[in-house]
Amino acid sequence: MDIGMNDQTVIVSIPPVEKWPLKQLKSVCRHNKIKGYTKMDREELVQHVKEIIKSMKPIKEGELI
């Protein structure tokens, strides 16, 4: 019995950052050590999260996270 990886593509659907709950935006900022995130409004949090996502290096096919 083969329990290994199969060759199927997995698609993960993530909504736009603007639709994320405030709790998730703050969590990403906390995890990435953004100073003052607790006092930021929603728009500032969204901008920081967008910058964080842009700065992430893309994961190559077959590479684990």
For 1-65, the DSSP string reads ---S--S---------GGGS-HHHHHHHHHHTT-TTGGG--HHHHHHHHHHHHHHSPPPPTT---
Query: pLDDT grade, residue 45 (50/70/90)?
Result: very high
End-to-end CA distance of the chain: 26
Task: Give residue-wise pLDDT tens across range 5-31.
Answer: 677 888 889 899 999 999 999 999 999
Q: Supply the pLDDT for residue 1.
A: 53
Q: What is the pTM of this model?
A: 0.71
Q: What is the mean pLDDT of the chain?
A: 87
